[in-house]
């Protein structure tokens, strides 16, 4: 594969003379040092004196698209290991008081309970391919919490993700839903008769994923101007997503997008992930148990309360209203993207207090959301105040799957 890691924010890369045609739609991976940009199977420094030159990368031919209709949008994303707090304010923000006995099952640290803090792996965006500086998350996206960065694109664009695995010991990947990809940009490991390129990126390794956005990845006839897909690690899908590696992809119709690929007919976008984060299925369970309780997994596994306490019923990785509160304006056009993940307990019914929304032309204030399902709704806030947004499944309410938003 001749394509080099992307060197500019959109589309300038290094391609050897006469090899541009071969580079279209390709991706590449290798293990490199933290500050070594990767160009195909070499470090960029290794080819500085070779006959390579800066070349404008031709976008892959995308069905239903003319060459001038799309652009390449490049994102630098890493899997980083961090300590995540499901309750950063330390109180039940829905009730406005300290945690009691019921909430304590999930959020208080004890000899048989980890509490609200867990080591996790999260997707985080960086400013460039050196992966030395995190991209500052804008105020409007603070509510994303545990989710990876939003990847915006329009139909006919090409998404390029330069991915680095910063985990110490575990291999990860990035697998997209909805968009087009060749096998080396699938990011999923299974017996498909192809090489493992892109399927599993080892600790310290990098890979460049190329995801064209054809018409079939964009809004359908009954959809609004943009829809949501997602990306997640798919080396061990259950453990990887339980560890935290999930993020949103938002695709806008090509004639409805602004310069950043966002829907031009919308004033505000929000993304909400509803899932019971099963820390019992995380790669880091035993490490978390020993770090926060001082006991071993073997000891704690004999305690039935331990497993229950590791089921974190979160919205974007927050419980009991601890999510940063989105501030909406009365009368603005709000597009709310819903993502479900998890297992058989993840039957969710997101409900907005004080407002109604439109989904596929139907008026709703509650939606149904299953694991790996994706919904896009439009909402025009008309009721001023602070309102609750939560899952309406009784058990999930008790366990803290609750958040707030305001309308002013």
pLDDT per residue as tens digits for the range 104-128: 999 999 888 999 999 999 999 999 9
**What pLDDT score does 24 carry?**
36
Flag whether pLDDT at 199 surpasses 60. yes
Average pLDDT of the segment spanning 162-169: 98
More confident residue, 37 or 140: 140
More confident residue, 144 or 46: 144
Mean pLDDT taken over the chain: 87
pLDDT confidence of 63, banded at 50, 70, 90? confident
Cα–Cα distance between 259 and 78 in angstroms, integer?
Answer: 25
**What pLDDT score does 318 carry?**
99
Question: Domain 76-407 has what CATH class?
Answer: mainly beta
The reply to whether the predicted model has a pTM over 0.75 is: yes
Cα–Cα distance between 60 and 57 in angstroms, integer?
Answer: 9
Q: Please report, for the chain, the start and end positions of each structural domain, with discontinuous segments joined by +.
A: 76-407
Flag whether pLDDT at 52 surpasses 60. no
Average pLDDT of the segment spanning 316-325: 98
pLDDT confidence of 220, banded at 50, 70, 90? very high
More confident residue, 64 or 344: 344
User: Where does 297-340 show beta strands of DSSP type E?
Assistant: 311-315, 327-328, 334-340
pLDDT confidence of 60, banded at 50, 70, 90? low
CA dihedral 293, 296, 301, 306 (to 10 degrees): 10
């Amino acid at each position: 594969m001749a394509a080099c890691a992307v060197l500019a924010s959109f589309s300038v890369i290094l391609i050897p003379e006469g090899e541009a045609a071969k580079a279209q739609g390709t991706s590449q991976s290798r293990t490199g040092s933290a500050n070594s940009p990767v160009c195909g199977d070499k470090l960029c420094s290794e080819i500085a004196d070779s006959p390579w030159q800066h070349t404008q990368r031709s976008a892959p031919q995308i069905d239903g698209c003319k060459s001038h209709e799309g652009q390449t949008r490049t994102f630098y994303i890493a899997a980083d290991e961090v300590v995540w707090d499901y309750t950063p304010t330390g109180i039940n923000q829905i009730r406005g008081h300290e945690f009691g006995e019921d909430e304590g099952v999930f959020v208080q640290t004890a000899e048989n309970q980890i509490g609200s803090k867990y080591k996790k792996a999260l997707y985080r965006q960086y400013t460039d391919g050196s992966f030395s500086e995190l991209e500052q998350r804008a105020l409007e996206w603070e509510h994303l919490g545990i989710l990876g960065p939003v990847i915006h694109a329009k139909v006919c664009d090409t998404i390029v993700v330069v991915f680095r695995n910063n985990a110490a010991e575990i291999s990860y990947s990035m697998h997209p839903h909805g968009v087009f990809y060749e096998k080396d940009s699938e990011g999923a490991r299974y017996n498909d008769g192809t090489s493992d390129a892109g399927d599993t990126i080892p600790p310290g390794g990098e890979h460049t994923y190329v995801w064209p956005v054809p018409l079939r990845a964009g809004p359908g006839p009954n959809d609004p101007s943009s829809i949501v897909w997602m990306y997640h690690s798919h080396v061990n899908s259950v453990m990887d997503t339980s560890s935290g590696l999930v993020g949103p992809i938002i695709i806008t119709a090509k004639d409805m997008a602004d310069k950043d690929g966002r829907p031009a007919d919308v004033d505000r976008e929000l993304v909400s992930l509803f899932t019971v984060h099963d820390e019992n299925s995380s790669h880091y369970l035993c490490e978390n148990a020993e770090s926060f309780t001082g006991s071993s997994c073997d000891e704690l596994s004999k305690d039935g309360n331990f497993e229950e306490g590791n089921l974190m019923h979160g919205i974007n990785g927050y419980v009991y209203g601890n999510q940063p509160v989105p501030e909406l304006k009365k009368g603005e056009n709000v597009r709310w993207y819903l993502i479900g993940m998890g297992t058989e307990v993840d039957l969710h019914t997101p409900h907005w207090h004080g407002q109604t929304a439109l989904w596929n032309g139907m008026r709703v204030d509650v939606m149904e959301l299953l694991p790996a399902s994706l919904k896009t709704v439009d909402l025009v806030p008309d009721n001023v105040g602070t309102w609750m947004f939560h899952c309406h499944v009784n058990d999930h309410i008790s366990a803290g799957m609750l958040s707030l938003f305001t309308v002013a």
